[in-house]
Amino acid sequence: MGTRFLVAVGALLLTAAAPAPTVDEIVARNVAARGGKPALSAVRTVRMTGRALGGPGREAIVRREVARPGRIRTEFVFQGTTGVYVWDGTTGSRVSPLDGSLEAEPLPAEAAALSAEQADLDGPLVDWRSKGHSVELVGSAALPGGAAHELKVTLETGVVRRLFVDAATGQVVKTTSTRTVRGHETEFETLYGDYRETGGVSFPRSIEIGARGRPQRMRIVVESVELNPKIDDARFALPR
Amino acid sequence: MRALAFGLAIAMLPLAAGADTIFLKSGGELSGRIVSRTAATVEIDVGGGQIGVATSTILRIEEGRSTLHEYQDRAGRIAPGDVEGWVALAAWASSIGLGAQATEAYHRALHAAPNDPRANAGVGNVQVGGRWVTEDEGYRAQGYVRFEGEWISPAEHEAILRERALEVQQERVHQAEAKAHEAQVRAEEAEARLAEAEAQKADAQAASEGLPLWYGWGAGPVSWSNDSIARQPMVQQHPLVTPR
């Protein structure tokens, strides 16, 4: 039993002794931790670059551009191939050499839904009521980094995400979601860390994705964040 | 084998002169060496395999010095026993997305220094009981089992087999309007185990399909491996260059 675990349990007990915060308080804390509503609203576009690390021999260069309202473009550069995945707010396309496609084709339904979700620059907690989401406080969880508030977020689409908001920092440190893979219900978890500020807004610089109980992980290390770069609308559509 | 590799390396030298980037009309890009051109197709070696591109899908081709070409140049200047040189080259190749070349360079380093921790880690080896073993052997040593391209716990493995057996049984019950029996479930479990053997044949292809979820970032490829590029035998199976 590690020291970090004991600290986490201790923090959890202290949290349990205090009155549980409301959903609105947790969300307000999270928004403040990210830089505050005015700072977040001032971000019209963002461009990120970094690396995806999927194990030995699998290190890719990744780029991501997000623009209001609800548009996203991701690029994946690996072994001489550049894949492009776009969502223009309504429809999605991809050219994905690693998946055997050199011509633009519609994004698979799951990728399209994921893109639409990630195209929300503010994230699901900001203005969640007006977005049609519902947020419910499930309880507290002892995570390795400390106690966290567990929120059940039901997106307007019906998709359920569980967000773990660090009780001390107010940042989202983990999300989980369940999906069926080859007929078996599998829980996926995403860990967020190394939050750093850019232009008054904080972004996680480390994103680790994996299935619960399985050893293999993919990690994205964000190396640069650029706020409000000029991004041509054409970048969110692919010629067909 | 070395003679064959040397022959192949020599045979490839003229190809190294052309370093190109193909810009696709769809917005994608391919960078490497063009190895053949016809009126209908351009074949490009991206360092992890060759990809045939229909000319009708190409927006333009820019000739230039590709990173693959640079890798070859650098590799050509490293002596076989220069562990530091190979490790540094591997790290550089990995950082620019040349996974196959990174793996090759790490293997060169391993050949010179079998216990080098950086080279071992670079090819995915892990230490078990004081010796370096492959990544797969490491997972196996930790008690994981490989199933349909994924390393999972025995408990999850059993659960999946049970679920599948139950699904098959329920389907049969539904169709035949007959009652299910525990014995039949066990029989179906045995059947599922047999099916597993067949599923494992597809392991290599499915090896990178376990993390199609890019939550927290955006969309990305479903498959992520050199195998998904190579329609032809991987170039990395043979040295791209012959070190001095």
Task: Give chain A's domains with CATH numbers.
Answer: 3-11+22-236 (2.50.20.10)
Select the more confidently predicted residue: A181 or B16.
A181
Alpha carbon A163 to chain centroid, angstroms: 10
Question: Which residues from B are below 8 Å from A177, CB to CB?
Answer: 213, 215
Q: Which of B58, B65, B167, B213 to mutate to test the interface with A (most CBs of A within 10 A)?
A: B213
- Average pLDDT value for residue range A173-191: 84
Residue contact B124–A214, C-beta within 8 A: no
Cβ contact (<8 Å) for A79 and B44?
no
Rounded mean pLDDT of A186-205?
94
Token pair of B79 as six digits: 């002596």
ipTM of the complex: 0.78
Residue B163 has what pLDDT? Answer: 87
Q: Do A216 and B215 touch (CB under 8 A)?
A: no
More confident residue, B168 or A166: A166
Q: Worst-scoring range by mean pLDDT, A43-52, B89-98, B216-225?
A: B216-225
CB contact under 8 A, B24 and A103: yes
Find which of A7-11, B8-12, B47-51 is predicted with most confidence, using mean pLDDT.
B47-51
pLDDT at B212: 46
Q: Look at residue A6 in the predicted model and tell me its pLDDT.
A: 56
**Residue predicted with more confidence, B222 or B13:** B222
Residue B195 in this model has a pLDDT that exceeds 90 = no
- A17 pLDDT band, cuts 50/70/90, is low
The pLDDT of residue B2 is above 80 = no
CA distance B100 to chain A (A): 6
Which stretch, A63-77, A178-192, B222-236, has highest mean pLDDT?
A: A63-77
Q: How confident is the model at residue A8 (pLDDT cuts 50, 70, 90)?
A: low
Binning pLDDT at 50, 70 and 90, where does residue B203 land?
Answer: very low
Q: Give the pLDDT score at B190.
A: 73
Rounded Cα–Cα distance for residues A76 and A57 (Å): 15
Point out the residue among A84, A115, A209 whose CB comes nearest to the CB of B216: A209
Residues in B touching A109 (Cβ below 8 Å): none
Does any CB of chain B come closer than 8 Å to the CB of residue A64?
A: yes
**Residue B23 clears pLDDT 80, i.e. is over it:** yes
Instruction: Of B93, B236, B61, B15, give the one whose Cα is nearest residue A78.
Output: B93
Instruction: Tell me how close the Cα of A10 comes to any Cα of chain B, in angstroms.
Output: 29
Report whether pLDDT(B12) > 60.
Answer: no
Closest chain B residue to A191, measured at CA = B216
pLDDT tens string B164-194: 888 888 888 888 776 667 777 777 777 777 6
| Whether B151 and A214 lie within 8 Å, measured CB to CB | yes
